[in-house]
């Protein structure tokens, strides 16, 4: 069901609106990857920068000042850098093995390290990692509502992207091309930004987006 939607003109339109390509203003989140040239660019890919901390604010989260200093100047930042060196930079999730995402992986250890920092919750930890490594997904309350609560979010998503000869992954890449979105926007962010989860709101304040009726097990249908 979701895969069919991602191949539709509605998905193209949603994605173009999100990135401001339909004449209106772009959503602030559209600058998440691009700000300062990207968090995974040469020279900064293995360190958290002030630009990274601003970038996550574009996705509606904030790193408190004390936590920011730990990442920019403290031992937490040094430990995170060591883990980032072990996570692939130039790859989409569908292109890496499951070992890069399992509970013993450097990515999982990096998420846990960030989550232990006071003031950085699971949402912010995930968005910081997505900024540094586009192979990792943005996972927040919107996506949780959409996909439910699988025991380990990254691995089921990895399986879905690789199923049927990576059919879902190729659908996302084709959608990115059709919408005219830069290649630096990962397939995962194309999925996150195009399907109305970010651009379509319920009429009830605080309610989940309309597309939240779709569940994880529909991704490959």
Domain assignments of the chain as residue spans, ordered by start: 2-218
Cβ atoms of residues 137 and 158 within 8 Å:
no
Give tens-digit pLDDT for 199-218: 544 333 333 333 333 333 34
Enter the DSSP assignment of 208: P
Residue 186, pLDDT > 60, answer yes
Cβ atoms of residues 26 and 35 within 8 Å:
no
Cβ atoms of residues 82 and 58 within 8 Å:
no
Mean pLDDT of 97-103: 94
Residue 94, pLDDT > 60, answer yes
**Can you give the pLDDT at residue 160?**
87
CA distance 94 to 160: 9
Give tens-digit pLDDT for 146-160: 455 555 678 888 998
- CA torsion angle 125 128 132 133 (round to 10): 50
Per-residue H/E/C for 81-101: HHHHCCCCCCCCHHHCCHHHC
46, two tokens: 């293995």
């Amino acid at each position: 069901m979701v895969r069919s939607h991602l191949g539709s003109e509605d998905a193209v339109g949603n994605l173009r609106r999100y990135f401001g390509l339909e004449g209106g203003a772009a959503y602030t989140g559209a600058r998440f990857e691009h700000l300062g040239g990207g968090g995974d660019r040469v020279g900064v890919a293995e360190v958290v920068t002030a630009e990274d901390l601003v970038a996550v604010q574009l996705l509606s989260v904030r790193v408190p000042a004390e936590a920011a200093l730990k990442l920019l100047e403290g031992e937490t930042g040094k430990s995170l850098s060591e883990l980032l060196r072990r996570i692939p930079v130039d790859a989409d999730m569908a292109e890496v093995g499951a070992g890069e995402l399992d509970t013993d992986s450097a990515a999982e250890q990096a998420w846990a390290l960030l989550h232990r920092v006071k003031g950085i919750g699971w949402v912010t930890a995930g968005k910081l990692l997505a900024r540094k490594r586009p192979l990792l997904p943005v996972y927040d309350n919107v996506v949780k509502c959409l996909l439910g609560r699988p025991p380990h979010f990254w691995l089921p998503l990895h399986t879905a992207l690789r199923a049927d000869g990576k059919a879902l992954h190729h659908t996302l890449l084709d959608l990115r091309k059709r919408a005219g979105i830069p290649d630096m926007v990962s397939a995962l962010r194309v999925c996150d930004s195009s399907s109305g989860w970010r651009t379509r709101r319920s009429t009830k304040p605080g309610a989940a987006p309309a597309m939240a009726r779709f569940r994880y097990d529909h991704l490959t249908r």
